[in-house]
Structure 1
Amino acid sequence: MKLEEIKKEAEKKIEELENPESIRTPGRTWTRYPEITPEKGEVQPEIETEGEVEVLQGEEAVEASEEKIFNAVKAEEDKLTATHAANLNSVIYIKVEEKASVKITYRDQADTFAHVVVDARENSELTLTEEFRNEGLLTSINEIYVGENATVNYGAVEASESDLTYSRRKAVVEDYGTVNWLNSQFTGELKRTKIETVLNGDNSETEKLAVWYPTGEQHNDISLHAYHYGENTRCQMDSRAVVDDKARSVYEGLQHVGDRADDTQSFQDESVLMLSDKAEVDASPKLMIEDPNVEASHAASAGNLPEKELHYLNSRGLSEDQARRLIVKGYFEPVMEDITVPKLKESIRAEVQKKLDKKE
């Protein structure tokens, strides 16, 4: 299918679709989406590569991806995915057969509708990072196909000045394949991200790391889902959030273990540090297990600044603000230590520092 055909087909479906579902508690829907009117504009992402890798853009990318584009994530999934498909202005196809890395940075002022398809062939290894620093509306979809014994390490820094950021990321993993995710969120008013991993292959695995830091009246809504269908699959999901002022954090985690996923191990942990009594937090970790021969657990917690730590740091000569900064930085460290891409780690630490500096 051609790019224009994808756009036209999606445009027809927008009005009949609903916005993505959000967590609901009695009397409340946590995430409400604004009406959007996309503006047409050119987007020219910066792309850096290392190693043997094929990177195509635009019409060439659509043609090369063949049946893979809008296969893992359907254009008609909801109103925002259809809007994304109808307004695509950046399509990138990445094929890797050996070891390579790709970094994509978006800095455009125009509304950005970015779509990346990854084809990681057997025994390959790809490190893919995306940094979103645009100023307009942002939708971003990733479809990652991980072949046998292949590895994809994906990292995102969401630091766009957008009223709405919608990110949809999904990987399909074959035998002995691995996909590792890192998603970080900092600026922008309403941010909605959903990350899914489908472990189809035996002995496949995934790790999901996420950090977010909403302040002011920002609203962050993130979902992490893992689907275990192969035997002897592994999943570890760890996320940490710091929430300040009148900001809101909404989290949903799902581990779905199929009826033939013997010897699966799947774990989920989400923690939130609340810096303000006006901040709001809601978490919904879930387990759906159809095979009894597995190990699985989930946990979610939220707490305020630890008084003992504050008192200890004050007693060592640090001011209240200095102690607060140190605690916030330290709170993210368990996730930061697991980041294996040095430049990505630097970018995330820089964004945390910017948040702290704004509190001065």
Structure 2
Amino acid sequence: MTTQTILPVNTESLKEISLQNNEPAWLTELRLEALELAGQLELPRLEKTRLDRWNTQSYGAYQATNVIDSLENLPMSVQGLVKDENLEGSLIVQHNSGVVYTHLSSELAKQGVIFMDLHTAATEHGDLVKSYLHKAIEKGENAITALHAALWNGGVFLYVPKNVEVTLPLQAIFLTDKETATFAPHILIIADTNSSVTYVDNYVSGEIEGNVVHNGSVEVFVKAGAKVRYATVHQFGNEVTDLSYRRAVVENDGAIEWIVGEMNDGNAMSDTSSILKGNGSSTDAKVIAVGSGAQKLNYTTRAQHFGKNTPSQMITRAVLREQSTAIINGITKIEHGASKADGQQTEKVLMLSPKARGDANPILLIDEDDVTAGHAASVGQVNPEQVYYLMSRGISRTEAEALIIYGFLAPVVSQIPLEGLRTQLQALVERKLGR
């Protein structure tokens, strides 16, 4: 069955938007090519999930935003996310269709670090952006990626020069609170040879009267010997459909670490992938998800091994309440020639209601003999024996179940690189669990 994609913008309107933003000609052309593809391609086919039954049409229209000069002028809905004094030095905030606040610490600027919205970077660093934009996540993969390539706005461009080690995390906040505004940030990160950086972002929604589609993409390029830690928390309300692709390309001896908190209230799909291109490259992905209400969730984590001696580790934990459903996929692909690769993955789903449904699907695709690979998967409910043991120590049933749930999620929560973010995620877990 073919589902026709209804385009939220026509060619002339897209040209006008690109002109208003003073985008270079190559970017305008790229957008127009992507829009044409979006009208031809189908939605991605997900395991046991019908995207055509989700709200995937509420893109709204591009709306210009006003830059602010002080964090005090940020919307109250995100004020609490920038209180950590360590984060205020390097911060980008996007509000609906555009970035409204950008600040890079003077120390990092002196070292040659570039941290700005992607629109500006496409003009000021055009050759660099053009070389990498849509190279990890290609515009023609499906209708979602094509629409994103045509419509993306705001976003982040982060470049870390050779041999530069960024010790403090850089942060970005993405807020949608207007259903009529297109919200499709694109994150492009390039960590040059032997550099290191930690990047943290939050996706938040305010009070929205209608529906919004977040169509977001993250591309990370990890050069030889570089190390990137990417931490992200999505906490959209139930009015937002979250469609997110994340992909890293890792060269010789490079490393990418993903830490993902999927804490949305609406339907959500994400695909987090690491392409281990170089020898000795590695990836470590940890994903936590909590579903509630009638949410439908589909989360995939991938590691594709091309280089030799490439380890990958993937851990996903999902907790489901009420009538929520989740499909959790782990895919390890070891290509021919990737000798000495080691791919390990674990997917676990904990259901707190008899009406909740979860699927954990570990998949190993191996085209090389001299490798190590393993997987583990489980789907179940809270163990009554564990509850009984804790209650026998004077702990109430409610608190006993909470302790078990937090212990179940701990392998991911404990890895969050910032104390403030760990505290935030813990609070989001409690909210999602109705505690």
TM-score by length of 2: 0.77
- The equivalences for 1:1-360 within 5 A come to 2-24=26-48, 32-40=53-61, 41=63, 42-44=97-99, 47=102, 49=104, 51=108, 52=111, 53-62=113-122, 63=126, 64-97=128-161, 98-100=164-166, 101-110=169-178, 111-135=182-206, 136-161=212-237, 162-356=239-433, 359=434
CA deviation after TM superposition for structure 1 residue 299, in Å: 1.6
CA contact (8 A) 1:200 1:228 kept: yes
Alpha-carbon distance in 1 for matches of 2:53, 2:192: 39
Which amino acid in structure 2 is aligned with residue 66 of structure 1? K
CA deviation after TM superposition for structure 1 residue 316, in Å: 2.8
Alpha-carbon distance in 2 for matches of 1:321, 1:170: 39
Alpha-carbon distance in 1 for matches of 2:137, 2:155: 14
CA deviation after TM superposition for structure 1 residue 163, in Å: 3.0
CA contact (8 A) 1:22 1:31 kept: no
CA contact (8 A) 1:237 1:269 kept: yes
Count how many residue pairs are aligned between Structure 1 and Structure 2. Answer: 355
Quote the RMSD (CA, aligned, Å).
1.9
Write out per-residue CA displacement over residues 41-86 of structure 1, whole angstroms, 9 at most, x where no aligned residue: 3332655655442113243323241121011101121111122222
Alpha-carbon distance in 2 for matches of 1:8, 1:269: 41
CA contact (8 A) 2:118 2:186 kept: no
Alpha-carbon distance in 1 for matches of 2:171, 2:374: 34
Distance 1:141 1:242, change over 3 A: same
CA deviation after TM superposition for structure 1 residue 349, in Å: 1.2
Of residues 246-255 and 75-84 in structure 1, the stretch that sits farther from structure 2 once superposed is 75-84
Q: Give unmatched runs, 5+ long, in structure 1.
A: none
Q: Which has the larger radius of gyration?
A: 2
Of residues 164-173 and 40-49 in structure 1, the stretch that sits farther from structure 2 once superposed is 40-49
Of residues 80-89 and 213-222 in structure 1, the stretch that sits farther from structure 2 once superposed is 80-89
Alpha-carbon distance in 1 for matches of 2:282, 2:342: 9
Other structure's SS at 2:205 match: coil
CA deviation after TM superposition for structure 1 residue 336, in Å: 2.1
Query: Whose strand fraction is larger, Structure 1's or Structure 2's?
Result: 1
Of residues 288-297 and 59-68 in structure 1, the stretch that sits farther from structure 2 once superposed is 59-68
CA deviation after TM superposition for structure 1 residue 335, in Å: 2.0
Other structure's SS at 1:261 match: coil
Write out per-residue CA displacement over residues 138-196 of structure 1, whole angstroms, 9 at most, x where no aligned residue: 12211111001000000110001243101100011110100000111112311100011
CA contact (8 A) 1:177 1:205 kept: yes
CA deviation after TM superposition for structure 1 residue 16, in Å: 1.2
Other structure's SS at 1:6 match: helix
Alpha-carbon distance in 2 for matches of 1:231, 1:246: 44
Q: Give unmatched runs, 5+ long, in structure 2.
A: 1-24, 64-96, 207-211
Other structure's SS at 2:368 match: coil
CA contact (8 A) 1:87 1:113 kept: yes
Percent same amino acid at aligned positions? 27
Alpha-carbon distance in 1 for matches of 2:201, 2:165: 18
Alpha-carbon distance in 2 for matches of 1:252, 1:59: 34
Alpha-carbon distance in 2 for matches of 1:314, 1:83: 52
Alpha-carbon distance in 2 for matches of 1:147, 1:264: 19
Which amino acid in structure 2 is aligned with residue 43 of structure 1? G
CA contact (8 A) 2:323 2:357 kept: yes
Runs of 4+ residues over 6 Å off in structure 1: none
Alpha-carbon distance in 1 for matches of 2:190, 2:389: 51
CA contact (8 A) 2:347 2:361 kept: no
Which amino acid in structure 2 is aligned with residue 144 of structure 1? V
Other structure's SS at 2:429 match: helix
Other structure's SS at 2:411 match: helix
Alpha-carbon distance in 2 for matches of 1:48, 1:159: 24
